[in-house]
Amino acid sequence: MDKSLDLLQGSYKENGIVAQYSMSGDPQQNGVAERRNSALMDMVRNMMSYSTLPLSLWMGAFKTLYELWTSRKPSVNHLRVWGSPIEAKVFNPNIGKLDPKTVSCHFIGYLENSKCYRFYCPGRHTMFVEMRH
């Protein structure tokens, strides 16, 4: 048996948790989780349908559903609409006074360990950009 599975099962036993596994290919056995996943995917589909972003970015929409998973209200002061077109301020030390200082992008999320935003910029060489502004 896999060592990590042994550790997990040992942790279950220590904490009085009885693991009940469902059969593969039979999601009806885990109805609560399946309903939650279905509701989350419905929301992701709605978010994706209102944006012009490629479907390959769907996981970014999924990750913004924080409150459903944690049951806590997050601070909304920094929130932006996922997939919305924006002009992101790009740091470039070689930029002239009259050169454009922003790049057209789409907001796709937040970074976990910093106060930066993540953008999708299809017209740039670097399509995914992380910036504070």
Read off the pLDDT band of 80 (50, 70, 90). confident
Rounded CA-CA distance 48/40 in Å is 12
- pLDDT beyond 60 at 1: no
- pLDDT beyond 70 at 18: yes
Mean pLDDT of 28-42: 74
Rounded CA-CA distance 122/133 in Å is 18
Q: What is the pLDDT of residue 133?
A: 62
Q: What is the pLDDT of residue 36?
A: 75
Rounded CA-CA distance 110/102 in Å is 19
Rounded CA-CA distance 44/26 in Å is 23
Nearest to 119 by CA among 130, 104, 132: 130
Rounded CA-CA distance 70/40 in Å is 13
Domain map (residue ranges) of the chain: 30-131
Does residue 51 sit in helix, strand or coil?
Answer: coil
Q: Which amino acid is at 51?
A: S
